[in-house]
Amino acid sequence: MRTSDFDFALPAELIAQFPAEKRSGSRLLCLDGNSGATQDCLFRDLPALLTPGDLLIFNDTRVIKARLNGIKASGGKLEILVERILDEHRALAHARASNAPKPGTRLVLEEKIEAEVTGRQADLFELKFLGDTTLPELLEQHGKLPLPPYISHAADTADEERYQTVYARVSGAVAAPTAGLHFDDEVMQALVENGVEKAFVTLHVGAGTFQPVRTENIREHKMHNEWYEIPQATVDAIRATQARGGNIIAVGTTALRALESAAQKGELSADCGDTDIFITPGYRFKLVDKLLTNFHLPRTTLLMLVSAFAGREHVLAAYRHAVEQRYRFFSYGDAMLITRRKIRA
């Protein structure tokens, strides 16, 4: 398939710049991947749309304050976006500068953090942060929250709350698992009262999640790596749900990618490691029955994943409906609940 097959027209005013006043106040578009039928709902309707015995899988990653501004020893300005923390003093990072810093270059970030470029891995720079303070502490004290590139304002204290899920626990992401941003305490309690269970995986979302596919033939695209972990408790919950005939519902494409990555190895078991799984139409899903997700950028791997889940024609038709009905798009926008299309053997 071609990348242009996953394009759509979106008025700029529908790109949400701020979250809804209340987390669960967003809208929810339900899509049946078999028939293509859609239903306009509200996110707070979600507990009633699920069945007792279903299992929601949440991604409990937490967004770090990964953006740092600074200068090179030569005086040139640069911006650093930490992509992955390697240990207490080392990281892989994106660097924006007029000239890419070479190994051995000393950096001064936020006027007080000293770091050195020690190498390079493809588009990422290896950085060593000097001094006794650990890198996670430095980022928390001096870093800035990295909002998506299509949000025009700089992150403020309101974003520091709303660009995190209420259940965020494991620090390491540079972008939020945005389908989870709609959950608040009221919805979580209503799910419990309706007999819907929950379990957690971790996938640290990378900056590559926002990147368009730049090759016209999608098979030529190289996916970015992201680290994930599936604990034994989640494996046990999935097996119990399947045994009773309940649905496995991934909260976000990140939770889905973690589950399907682990399932590639055969029978599901507790697992952790890197994944670069690229899910496109024709993929046979092994675990997930329903997907809760936000609306995605055109020509991206995430739109391709959703199209694999429910059929490209159904998804693009649902997106056209969402535009006509003035749904809000992308990270701070509204959500979809999608039932997986069943592919006959």
Mean pLDDT of the chain: 96
Tens-digit pLDDT profile for the chain (345 aa)?
899 999 999 999 999 999 999 999 999 999 999 999 999 999 999 999 999 999 999 999 999 999 999 999 888 999 999 999 999 999 999 999 988 999 999 999 999 999 999 999 988 999 999 999 999 999 999 999 999 999 999 999 999 999 999 999 999 999 999 999 999 999 999 999 999 999 999 999 999 888 889 899 999 998 989 999 999 999 999 999 999 999 999 999 999 999 999 998 888 999 999 999 999 999 999 999 999 999 999 999 999 999 999 999 999 999 999 999 999 999 999 999 999 998 765
Rounded to whole angstroms, how far apart are CA atoms 10 and 314? 17
Specify the pLDDT at position 344.
64
Rounded to whole angstroms, how far apart are CA atoms 120 and 91? 11
Phi first, then psi: what are they for 45, rounded to 5°? -80, -10
334: number of CA atoms within 13 Å, CB side? 23
To the question of domain 67-142 being in CATH 2.40.10.240, the answer is yes
Rounded to whole angstroms, how far apart are CA atoms 209 and 256? 14
Cα-based distances in Å from 237 to 147, 212, 243, 304: 33, 35, 10, 28
In contact, 274 and 262? CB cutoff 8 Å? no
Question: Residue 122: which residues within 8 A CB-CB, separation 6 or more?
Answer: none
In 3D space, the residue among 256, 191, 196, 197 whose CA is nearest the CA of residue 230 turns out to be 256
3-state secondary structure at position 64: coil
Beta strands in the chain (DSSP E): 27-32, 38-42, 55-59, 61-63, 67-72, 77-85, 90-97, 106-109, 113-121, 124-129, 170-173, 197-203, 226-230, 248-251, 271-275, 290-294, 335-339
In contact, 58 and 198? CB cutoff 8 Å? yes
The fold adopted by the segment(s) 3-63+159-339 is: QueA-like (3.40.1780)
- Tokens standing for residue 18: 């701020």
In contact, 296 and 16? CB cutoff 8 Å? no
Specify the pLDDT at position 345.
53
Rounded to whole angstroms, how far apart are CA atoms 10 and 324? 10
Specify the pLDDT at position 67.
97
- Tokens standing for residue 56: 């929601």
Specify the pLDDT at position 105.
95
32: number of CA atoms within 13 Å, CB side? 7
Q: Domain residues of the chain, as ranges?
A: 3-63+159-339, 67-142
